[in-house]
Chains A and B, each alone.
Chain A
Amino acid sequence: MKWSQFFNTSIGKKLLVGATGLFLCSFVIVHLTGNLTLLKDDGGEAFNIYAAFMSHNPFIQFLAWGLKIIILLHAIIALQLTFRNRAARPVKYAINPGNQTSSWFSRQMAIMGSILLIFILIHLKDFWYVMHYGELRPVTYEGKEYKDLYYAVYEAFKVLWVVVLYVIGMIGLSFHLVHGFKSAFQTFGLNHVKYNGLINFVGVWLFGILIPIAFAIIPVFIYFKSI
């Protein structure tokens, strides 16, 4: 079997969605760790130095472009599968079982993923674009000049609807990962009573609850600090 065939079946495509999804889960942890420096009461020094490192280190730059490709790959293949899945039932049921046979989260993956994709595009425009191609006021730490992204973030989150948008994005992340994390393991064939409990726990509590809340705290905290 050729590799092109291997990744072109329904299972092959799901393996790609699962693998890219788990990679994105690991990215979410890294991104959160960096972002939490925004909450540090140091006028933005830690965050601005971190942001400068992330946008200049060549290895990180390579990863960052890879990340964007992986997000696109994850979204495109998942949407392709979703449309195919919808087409597999041309005549719909008059009555659906709802939550009687499956969890609500497991049925909303495409919707939550789409919310997340739109959020990511807005988020890239808000901060990644201005950091790389926009105008930011300079700030100096120990004689070295940095772009003051911290200031831009604090300005952005003074606006209530921006904060609401970011919280909605994080609800999308939460609902997507409650099912998505453990689902990827099942797709890889990793289903065993000895580990299922742990996989479920990490998926629901770490990726589904703790991480989205920690992300969402940042805009909410900044908003309340500004009023």
Chain B
Amino acid sequence: MMNLLQTVISRPSGALGLGLTLFHVLMALFAPWIAPYDPTMQNADAILLAPSFEHWMGTDTLGRDVFSRVLHGGRLAIAVTFSAAVIATLWGGFAGIFFGTVGGRVDEFSMRIVDAFLSMPWLLFLLLIISIGGAGPVTIIPTLGFFYGVAILRVVRGAAMQVAARDFVTAAKARGERLWPVIAREVFPNLSDILLVEGAMRWSWMLLAFSSLSFLGFGATPPTPDWGLMVAQERGLLSTAPWGVFWPCFALSSLIIGINLLADAIGKALGLDRATAIAV
């Protein structure tokens, strides 16, 4: 693990990615102690103030400090999407390895269902489920986890088929080993790197998805400081008070870029070329 970390850091893009990701995670964790103001405190005498020493990133339409809200803005998004990424990686990875190893009709049948899910406009499907189950982490985490897990399943299943065709797996089967030991001892250890990279990538995409949901009014609810919700509430003021939109966008973009750079560096450190080895 330390070797992997050293290899990732040795690449400038990896160091930048790790730095950005860690920075945002730490900011989210310690925001209550770092933020100069209560992020929900409204002030009728401080509406739409431009950035200043008092308010580094200005104030929003309700006179709230934008810097404090940006610091807090990643807490819910990171918590929800990281949880969903773990779920997606676990179930998608497990199912992908299983179907890739088993093969045959079970695999063929299952992949048609996977194809059907992949062909659906995922955002509409998400909105449908959330409108039934209600907005909130209890609905959003499993929903994101399920949908992004389908994509992970597809990728991992392809990689598992390649591993399952290799000699040491054939040898294990020839020794009479059953399916589960073959998956646990032979296939999974050769796919853990792909799972790690896929999980990281999907996490960054989920961040964008969660922010989109908040933007549309289906994710975070007021007065929760959330980047997507902040953009939605201030988007009409781009030409007069752009700081209300710029800073949450900047924070979200930098975190997504950071995670992607990190995933890329991890992949390269593990000998994976995301452009060719992992095809969705």
Q: Do A and B bind each other?
A: no
